[in-house]
Amino acid sequence: MKIAMTEEMRSIDKQALDTYGIPELLLMENAGHRTAEAALELLGEAAGKSVIVLAGTGNNGGDAFAAARHLANSGVRVKIFLIGDPAHLKPSTAVNRSIDEKMGIEVHEIASDRVWDRLSVAMKFADVVIDGILGTGFSGELRKNVLRLIELVNASGKRVLSIDLPSGVDADTGAVTSVAIQAAATLTLGLPKPGHFFCPGAECTGKLLVDDIGIPTALLDDEAIHQTLLDEALATTLLPERLQGVHKGMCGRILVIAGSRGMTGAAYLAALAALKAGAGLVTLAVPASLHDLMEMKTTEVMTVPVPETKPGSGIIGGDKALGTLLELTGNYDAVLMGPGLGRAPETGEVVRKLAAYLEKPMVLDADAIYAFQGHLKELARCKQVPVLTPHFGELAGLLDISLDELRANLVTRVRNAAADLQCLIVAKSECTLAAYPQGGVFFTSVGNPGMATAGCGDVLAGTIAGLMEQTESGLAPLAGVYLHGFAGDLAAAKLGDGLTASDVLAELPHALVHLRRAQAGGKA
C-alpha cells in the first residue's frame, strides 16, 4: 500500500475528476457512507445511540455531512455542528448540508455562546463524535474557535472518529502545533498519510482504517508515489525460500566490527542478531584487549582480535588495525561496522578508510555513522551503496542540522539525504523509515514503544547484516526492519514496556518462522 503526501493526494483527487470523470459529490458520498459504517462499528448498534457530527466548511466537512445522513437513516440520533463561516462552504459540502436539513437533521452553526452551550450539553449525551473539522490541507496554527472546539471534544472523553486525519495534525509530518483531536479511530480516505505514523500525530490517530472510496486503483498504486507501507504482504516477498541442500557458506558469512571498553554488549547483540536472522557464519572483530572476554561471552559467534591505539585501551585504531581488518574482509560476504565501536578519532579514521575500500555490502551503525560527520563526501564516494541505520539524533548530527529541522520535514529530509549521500538510510523512530537513493521511502508497520530501550538498534543492524546474503542486499534492510519490528511486537506481547534488546533478539527466530509461514499461505 502506498502512503501519500498532501500534494500527491490532491493530484489523485484531481485525476479522479479530470481523467476518470468521477464527480466530487460521488467520492464525498462514498466517504460519508464508509464513515457512517465506521461510526456504527464504534457504536455497536444504532438503536438509542446519539452521535455529534462536527463539520468544517471544506470537503472534510462535506464527508461529515454525508455521514450524518447515513447515520440518521440507520436510526441514530444525529446533531451536526458547523464550525466556520457558512458563506465559505465548498460547493459539494453545501449540497450535503442542504440534503441533511431537508431530512430534518439538526444543523447548528457555532457562532454564539448559546450554540457553544448547546454543543457542550449535547456532548454529554453523545456516544460517538465524528471529527470532520479539518482535512489534510491543514498546517500551521489553529484558529481560536477551532482550538476551542478541539479542546472541548478532548475534555469530553467521548470516543471520536476522525475523517482522514485528526483535526490539528499536519498530514505530512504528524506535527501538532497546539492541540489536536484525540481519536479512537481515524478513517483515512484513498491512502494513509505520513502524519498517521509520526508522533504526535500517530498518538492522535487511534486505530487507522483505510478506504479507497472508489478512487481507481491505478491512481492509488501510481509509481509516481514514492512512499510505501512495509507490511506483512510486502515482507513476505523479500526472502527467497531456503533450499534443502543449503549449507552455512551459502547463508552469508558476516563480519561484525564492533565494541569498545564499556560497550561490549552492543557488539554481542549485533553479532548474535546476524546469526538469529539466519546468517550461516558470523565473526566478531573486537579490540584486542576485549577479545578474551568476548570469546567467553559468545558461543556460536567466532571472534578475532584487532590491534588497538594502545595496548589495553579497548580502542581500535592505527594502520595495524586497518591492515588486519582489510585482510579479514576478503573472507566475508558483508560487513557491519559501528555498534559500540567508540568515537575516538583513530577509530573514525579506520572506519572511513575501510568503508572506502570495501566493494561488498556494508552496514554502518552508531559510531561508524558518527565517523562520517564532517566527511560526507567520503561517504558519498563509497564503492558500494552502504546501509546506514541511524536514530534521528545520529541522522541530524550527520546532516549537521537540528533535530527540530529534521522532524519538520522528515520524509523529504531523509529522502534527499539518501540521494545526496548515495546511501540506503534506515532512520529509526516510532515509525522507522527506509529510504533509497532512487527516492523510494518505506514506512514500517511493526514495532512498539517498549523497543525504546538500549541495544535494540544494535539488534536491528545485526539483523540487516545477517540477511545480506540470504536475499538481494538491497532488500535486506526492508526484510530486517520488518523482522526486527515484528520480533519486538512478539516480545512486547509477553513483557510490555519491560522488554530488553535481548528479548527482541530471542524473538527474531520466531518472527522469521511467522514470515515463512505467511509466505506459504499459513501452511507449515
| 141, burial (CB in 10 Å: exposed 0-12, middle 13-18, buried 19+) | exposed
Phi and psi at residue 344, to the nearest 5°: -60, 140
- CB of 32 within 8 A of CB of 39? no
pLDDT tens, residue by residue, 469-492: 988 879 999 999 999 999 999 999
Radius of gyration (C-alpha) of the chain in whole angstroms: 27
What is the percentage of the chain residues whose pLDDT exceeds 70? 99
pLDDT at residue 521 is higher than 90: no
* 3 state SS of 397: helix
pLDDT at residue 467 is higher than 90: yes
pLDDT at residue 251 is higher than 90: no
pLDDT tens, residue by residue, 436-447: 999 999 999 999
How far apart CA 173 and CA 466 sit, in angstroms, is: 32
Task: Please state whether beta strands 433-435 and 227-230 pair in parallel, antiparallel, or not at all (unpaired).
Answer: unpaired
DSSP type of residue 379:
H
So what's the pLDDT on residue 9? 96
Mean pLDDT to the nearest integer, 255-279: 97
Residues with Cβ < 8 Å from 185, sequence gap 6 or more? 38, 42, 161, 162, 206, 207, 208, 209
CB neighbour burial string for 74-110, b if at least 16 within 10 angstroms, e if fewer: bebbbbbbbbbeeeebbebbbbbbeebeeeebebbeb
Task: Please state whether beta strands 424-427 and 334-337 pair in parallel, antiparallel, or not at all (unpaired).
Answer: unpaired
How far apart CA 52 and CA 160 sit, in angstroms, is: 9
pLDDT band at 524 (very low <50, low <70, confident <90, very high): very low
pLDDT tens, residue by residue, 139-172: 889 999 999 999 999 999 999 999 999 999 999 9
How far apart CA 232 and CA 209 sit, in angstroms, is: 17
Q: Can you list the domains of the chain with their CATH numbers?
A: 6-222 (3.40.50.10260), 234-519 (3.40.1190.20)
Mean pLDDT to the nearest integer, 94-101: 97
Mean pLDDT estimate for the chain: 95
- CB of 79 within 8 A of CB of 54? no
pLDDT tens, residue by residue, 401-429: 999 999 999 999 999 999 999 999 999 99
How far apart CA 107 and CA 91 sit, in angstroms, is: 17
Closest CA relative to residue 80, chosen from 131, 44, 26: 131
So what's the pLDDT on residue 522? 61
So what's the pLDDT on residue 102? 97
State the DSSP string of 260-321: -TT-HHHHHHHHHHHHHTT-SEEEEEEEGGGHHHHHHH-SSSEEEEE-BSSTTS--B-SHHH
Q: Which three cell numbers stand for residue 519?
A: 509466505
So what's the pLDDT on residue 140? 86
So what's the pLDDT on residue 472? 84
How far apart CA 8 and CA 247 sit, in angstroms, is: 47
Q: Which three cell numbers stand for residue 506?
A: 530471542
- CB of 297 within 8 A of CB of 278? no
Q: Which three cell numbers stand for residue 364?
A: 554502518
Pairwise pLDDT comparison (524 vs 165), residue with the higher score: 165
DSSP type of residue 75:
T
Residues with Cβ < 8 Å from 44, sequence gap 6 or more? none
How far apart CA 461 and CA 270 sit, in angstroms, is: 6
- CB of 34 within 8 A of CB of 258? no
pLDDT at residue 250 is higher than 80: no
CB neighbour burial string for 246-261, b if at least 16 within 10 angstroms, e if fewer: eeeeebbbbbbbbbbb
Residue type for position 394: E
pLDDT at residue 20 is higher than 80: yes
Measured CA to CA in angstroms, residue 214 lies from 24, 68, 117 at distances of 11, 20, 39
Q: What pairs with residue 335 in β-bridges?
A: 255, 362
Q: What H or E segment, with its residue span, contains residue 36?
A: helix 24-43
Mean pLDDT to the nearest integer, 495-523: 91
- CB of 321 within 8 A of CB of 340? no
Q: Is the peptide bond before 216 cis (omega within 30 degrees of 0)?
A: no
pLDDT tens, residue by residue, 219-242: 999 999 999 999 999 999 998 888
pLDDT band at 339 (very low <50, low <70, confident <90, very high): very high
Taking the C-alpha atoms of 183, 189, 192 and 198 in order, what is their torsion angle to the nearest 10 degrees?
Answer: -30
How far apart CA 39 and CA 56 sit, in angstroms, is: 18
Closest CA relative to residue 130, chosen from 46, 214, 50, 212: 50
Residues with Cβ < 8 Å from 81, sequence gap 6 or more? 52, 53, 54, 55, 107, 108, 109, 110, 115, 119, 122
- CB of 234 within 8 A of CB of 425? no
pLDDT band at 106 (very low <50, low <70, confident <90, very high): very high
pLDDT at residue 396 is higher than 60: yes
Measured CA to CA in angstroms, residue 278 lies from 242, 250, 389 at distances of 10, 11, 20
Instruction: Please state whether the predicted TM-score (pTM) of the whole model is above 0.85.
Output: yes
